[in-house]
């Protein structure tokens, strides 16, 4: 399972390009975070950009802030019973940072709503695809820069087809 996740992440990262772009990172994202211990979290992330962030390190057009809702999907290779019981639980991380040029997004967690104490806050260095639909890269993961995060723009829900009339 871990190998499949890593391969899927590598395939998605393969689509990242470093060409100049003018794509915004604002919006809804869905992704996965993994680490070498085999933990897997799914993520639902909302990012905003621009001058509206009063708490961002860089206040201006490059400022980015948002919220990540994490859900523990796998507790690792040999989890403790306490950690294994947290599978399916959620935590929220508030993030802020900035764009470095058009192709690198740096974010840092600054507040966590994590009553289960399973995810906490992290730091992120994420490349942005040329078309702006994928971002991915590494996370600090308690100091080793071994966490991996990959996300794609959330696709709008399709409305159910109207029933045909005879």
pLDDT tens track for 41-78: 999 999 999 876 665 555 556 899 999 999 999 999 99
Mapping DSSP to helix (H, G, I), strand (E, B) and coil, where does residue 78 land? coil
> Exposure string (b/e) for 119-140, b if CB count within 10 Å is 16 or more?
bebbbbbbbbbbebebbbbbbb
| pLDDT band at 113; cut points 50, 70, 90 | very high
Select the more confidently predicted residue: 93 or 160. 93
**What does the pLDDT average to over 4-26?**
55
C-alpha 45/C-alpha 92 separation (Å) is: 10
DSSP character at residue 51 = T
For the record, the structure tokens of 3 come out as 């190998």
Q: Which domains does the chain have, with CATH numbers?
A: 2-15+23-153 (2.40.128.120)
pTM of structure: 0.78
* Average pLDDT score over residue span 21-31: 85
Structure tokens that stand for 48 in this block: 């905003």
Average pLDDT, stretch 92-104? 92
pLDDT at 24: 87
Res 18: pLDDT: 37
| Residue 122, pLDDT score | 97
What is the pLDDT at residue 162? 63
DSSP 20-44: -------EEEEEEEE-TT-EEEEEE
């Amino acid at each position: 399972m871990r190998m499949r996740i890593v391969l899927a992440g590598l395939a998605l990262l393969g689509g990242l390009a470093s060409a100049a772009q003018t794509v915004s990172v604002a919006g809804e994202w869905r992704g996965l975070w993994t680490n070498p211990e085999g933990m897997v979290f799914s993520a639902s992330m909302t990012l905003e950009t621009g001058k509206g962030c009063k708490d961002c390190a860089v206040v201006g057009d490059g400022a980015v802030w948002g919220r990540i809702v994490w859900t523990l999907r796998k507790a690792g290779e040999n989890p403790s019973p306490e950690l294994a019981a947290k599978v399916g639980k959620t935590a929220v991380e508030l993030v802020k940072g900035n764009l470095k040029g058009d192709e690198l997004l740096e974010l840092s967690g600054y507040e966590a709503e994590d009553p289960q104490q399973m995810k906490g806050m992290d730091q992120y260095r994420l490349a942005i695809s040329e078309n702006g639909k994928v971002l991915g890269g590494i996370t600090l993961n308690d100091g080793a820069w071994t966490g991996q995060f990959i996300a794609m723009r959330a696709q709008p829900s399709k409305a159910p087809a109207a029933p045909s009339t005879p």
